Amino acid sequence: MIKVAGAKAETGASLSEVRKTAERARDNCRTFAVALSPATIPASGQPTFTIGEKEIYFGIGAHGEREIKKTGLLSADETAQVLVDGVVKDLGLKSGDEVNIIVNGYGSTTLMALYIVNRKVHDILNHLQVHIHRTDVGNFLTTQEMAGCSVTLMRLNEELKSCYDSPAYTPTFAKCPDLLRKFNP
């Protein structure tokens, strides 16, 4: 949502237009997360929550906000299935919709594990005949020592797609359209 709003502002749009675009992005985004270990609060050195060695929490917030579902350990594919099913249902995605995907690690999850989750996210969406426009995998919003990930889907229209594809250069996120065209025709 922030990326889209920034891109809209770069076009010289009025504050009202930027707000409407940001709200459209917000209304078309959903995120569902899973944690395998708690985050640590730097000031106190204390974990934000406790979790059993063989448990995972779904719906956990990046700052330790309470989970909505606790289960035993699941495979990466099973975990991705729960995440995507939740997002697809809440967003009301249907065959023919187009989305961007963000698979975000919380800091202690390996990039390889994030790509394994991403592979399954793609499989599920392809099976549902939801078109994937762009995918970003990495650690964009992290929490100290927390293992887990989140899956975000943004349903697109032409405006949101254009704004998302616009250049962005920040310390933790970059979009380079010339490179995207080279590797994603």
Residue positions annotated with a catalytic role: 63
Is there a contact between 92 and 78 (Cβ–Cβ < 8 Å)?
Answer: no
Locate 72 and state its tokens.
Answer: 């035993």
**Cα–Cα separations (whole angstroms), residue 3 to 48, 77, 153:** 28, 29, 14
Please enumerate in sequence order all residues whose Cβ is within 8 A of that of 156, keeping only pairs 6 or more positions apart, or say none.
28, 97, 98, 99, 100, 133, 164
DSSP class of 109: S
Q: How far apart are CA 48 and CA 15, in angstroms?
A: 37
Q: How far apart are CA 30 and CA 151, in angstroms?
A: 8
CA-nearest of 31, 34, 21, 131 to 90 is 31
